[in-house]
Amino acid sequence: MFDRSRINAFAKQETPFYYYDIALLEQTLTSALEAADTLGFHVHYALKANFNNRLLERIRDLGFGADCVSGNEVRRAVETRFDPGKIVFAGVGKSDKEITYALNEDIFAFNVESIQELQVIDGLAAGLGKIARVALRINPNVDAHTHQYITTGLDENKFGIAQWDLPEAVETLRKCRHIELVGIHFHVGSQITDLNVFKSLCVKVNELNNWFDERGFRLRILNVGGGLGVDYHEPDAYPIPDFRAYFSVFGEFLERKPGQEVHFELGRALVSQCGSLVSRVLYVKNGIKKNFLIIDAGMTELMRPALYQAYHRIENLTAAAADNDNTDEPPLHYDVVGPICESTDCFGKEVPLPKTQRGDLIAIRTAGAYGEVMASRYNLREEIRYVYSDES
Ligand code: LLP
C-alpha cells in the first residue's frame, strides 16, 4: 500500500495521523455496488464506521444510502447531501429531540428497537402532522460467532424487539395512526467472517417475513443490516472483501416476496482497508523480558486493541523504504505501546518487526473503520489529523 515516495512524503508530516487511500476506497465501493446491483440489492453505508467528510462525499456520489445511529449522524448525512429518501435511523435510545429532527428531515425510515419507541415516534409524528415510516428491528437470536463485545443479535443483547414481543408490537402498530410499517430490520454483529452466520440470518428473516405476511402486513423492505468482516491479518493480500460471495448468500437463501426490496447497512467492509494510522516511534525501551516501542499514537487515536483486544497489523514503514536490504535479518519482537497513562494502551504484543529506532514511521493497518470515529481527547490529546492519498 505504501511505496517509497509515499513513505518519504509521510516523513515530512507531523504524526500521528490517519491516512486514507482514496483509490482503494473507490475500488472497494465500486466492487460492493456492482455485486449488490447484480441482485437488485440496496446498500446503506453505516456512518458510525467513519464519518470523515472526504470519505462520505465519495460514498454519497456513488449513490449509497446512509445508516445513522444518532441525530447528529442523521444531520451529517443530510449536510453531506445524502438523499433523505435513503437515510435510515437506528439505535436503542433515540431521544425525542433526535426523532423530531429526523421526522422534519423526512428521512426514509426509523429502525425501531422497542414497543415504547413506536409509541413515542407515533406521538411525535402526530404532533408534526407527519407519518413516520418504520422498520421493526427484531432480535433474531442468531449467533454471529464474533467478539462478544460486537455481537448484537442474541437474546441477551439490548438490541431490537424480542420475538416473543412481536404480537404486542403488531397490536401497537395497529393503533398507531402516524406510523407506516415499511419493513423489518436485523443486525447480528460485526466483523463476521463465517458466511454461514448470514445463511442462518436468512432462515430467520424468511420465517418472520411469513409471520408478518400472515397477519396482513405487506412488508416492502427486508433490511439485513451489516457485519461483513475484513482481513486484519493480510490487508495487502485481501484489500477488498468478497462482496460477491457475501451478497450471493442472501441472493440464494432469502425468500423475497413480490416487490420486496433487500437493504444492507455495511460499514467496516467498505472503509476499513483504505485507512491506516501512521505514527512515529518516540522511544525504544529494551527490557530484560520485553522490548517496547513507545509510539506517538495511543488508544486515544485507535481504541480497538484496548477495547476489544483487536488485532491490527503493524508495519515499520521507514525500514520498508530503506535502501539497505536487511530482509535476511531475523525480526525482533516488540510490544508496541502508546503514550497514554493506561496499561491497556497497547497496539500489539511481541510484534515481529525489523530493528526499529526512534523516529521510524509505523503504520497500523486496517484502521479506516471504527478508528478515527472512536478517537477521544483523554489525556487532553491533540485533535486527530488526517492525510488523503490524493492530496499529500
Ligand atoms: N447496522 C447496525 C444496526 C449496526 O449496529 C452496525 C454496527 C452496522 C449496521 C454496521 O456494521 P459493520 O458492517 O460495520 O460491521 N466499534 C466496533 C464495531 C461496532 C459495530 C456497531 N454496529 C469495532 O471497532 O469493531
pLDDT tens digits, one per residue of 254-265: 999 999 999 999
CA distances from 383 to 155, 264, 265, 305, 376 (A): 38, 32, 28, 20, 8
- The response to whether residue 265 sits with its C-beta less than 6 Å from ligand 1 reads yes
How far, in Å, is the centroid of ligand 1 from the Cα of 357? 36
- The response to whether residue 43 sits with its C-beta less than 6 Å from ligand 1 reads no
C-alpha to C-alpha distance for 392 and 384, rounded to whole angstroms:
17
CA distances from 29 to 62, 275, 314 (A): 8, 14, 25
Q: What pLDDT does residue 262 have?
A: 98
How far, in Å, is the centroid of ligand 1 from the Cα of 190? 5
How far, in Å, is the centroid of ligand 1 from the Cα of 267? 6
How far, in Å, is the centroid of ligand 1 from the Cα of 73? 14
Mean pLDDT over 341-350 rounds to 95
| Per-position DSSP letters for 303-372, written without gaps between them | -HHHHH-----EEEHHHHH-SS--TTSPPEEEEEE-SSSSTT-EEEEEEEES---TT-EEEE-S-TTTTG
How far, in Å, is the centroid of ligand 1 from the Cα of 322? 38
Percentage helix, strand, coil for the chain under 3-state DSSP, each rounded to 5: 35, 25, 40
How far, in Å, is the centroid of ligand 1 from the Cα of 189? 7
Q: What pLDDT does residue 149 have?
A: 66
For the record, the C-alpha cell of 292 comes out as: 517496547
* Four-point Cα dihedral 106, 111, 113, 117, nearest 10: 10
- The response to whether residue 190 sits with its C-beta less than 6 Å from ligand 1 reads yes
C-alpha to C-alpha distance for 344 and 205, rounded to whole angstroms:
39
Amino acid at 332: L
pLDDT tens digits, one per residue of 63-109: 999 999 999 999 999 999 999 999 999 999 999 999 999 999 999 99
- The response to whether residue 90 sits with its C-beta less than 6 Å from ligand 1 reads yes
CB atoms within 10 A of CB 143: 13
For the record, the C-alpha cell of 350 comes out as: 511481541
Q: What pLDDT does residue 325 have?
A: 60
Ligand 1: residue whose CA is nearest its atom 1: 225
State which ligand 1 atom lies nearest to the alpha carbon of 191: 15
Residue 134 backbone dihedrals phi, psi, to 5 degrees: -135, 150
- The response to whether residue 200 sits with its C-beta less than 6 Å from ligand 1 reads no
pLDDT over 90 at 1, yes or no: no
Q: What pLDDT does residue 143 have?
A: 78
Average pLDDT value over all residues in the chain: 94
Residue in 186, 190, 309, 372 to alter for ligand 1 test, most ligand atoms within 8 A of Cβ: 190
Residue in 47, 48, 157, 271 to alter for ligand 1 test, most ligand atoms within 8 A of Cβ: 48
How far, in Å, is the centroid of ligand 1 from the Cα of 70? 13
What pTM, to 2 d.p., does this model score? Answer: 0.95
CA distances from 339 to 225, 286, 289, 291, 343 (A): 36, 16, 20, 15, 10
Residue 107 backbone dihedrals phi, psi, to 5 degrees: -65, 165
C-alpha to C-alpha distance for 227 and 151, rounded to whole angstroms:
10
Q: What pLDDT does residue 151 have?
A: 64
For the record, the C-alpha cell of 92 comes out as: 436503542
Q: Specify the DSSP element, H or E, that contains 292.
A: strand 291-295
Mean pLDDT over 245-262 rounds to 98
Domains, the chain, with CATH or none: 4-17+274-388 (2.40.37.10), 22-271 (3.20.20.10)
CA distances from 112 to 17, 50, 96, 132, 149 (A): 37, 23, 13, 11, 22
C-alpha to C-alpha distance for 336 and 338, rounded to whole angstroms:
7
Ligand 1: residue whose CA is nearest its atom 19: 150
Residue in 228, 246, 268, 373 to alter for ligand 1 test, most ligand atoms within 8 A of Cβ: 268
C-alpha to C-alpha distance for 237 and 274, rounded to whole angstroms:
13
pLDDT tens digits, one per residue of 187-225: 999 999 999 999 999 999 999 999 999 999 999 999 999
pLDDT tens digits, one per residue of 295-329: 999 999 999 999 999 999 999 999 999 866 656 77
pLDDT tens digits, one per residue of 115-155: 999 999 999 999 999 999 999 999 988 877 767 666 666 66
- The response to whether residue 227 sits with its C-beta less than 6 Å from ligand 1 reads yes
Q: What are the residues facing 261 on neighbouring strands?
A: 221
275-286 and 291-295 strand pairing:
antiparallel
Reduce the DSSP state of residue 165 to 3 states and report it: helix
C-alpha to C-alpha distance for 310 and 369, rounded to whole angstroms:
12
User: What percentage of the chain carries pLDDT values higher than 90?
Assistant: 89
For the record, the C-alpha cell of 238 comes out as: 485481501
Q: What pLDDT does residue 209 have?
A: 97
pLDDT over 90 at 340, yes or no: yes
Mark out the alpha helices in the chain (DSSP H runs).
4-10, 22-38, 53-61, 71-79, 96-104, 115-128, 166-175, 196-214, 243-253, 268-271, 304-308, 317-321
pLDDT over 90 at 276, yes or no: yes
How far, in Å, is the centroid of ligand 1 from the Cα of 3? 31
Mean pLDDT over 37-66 rounds to 98
pLDDT class for 286, splitting at 50, 70, 90? confident
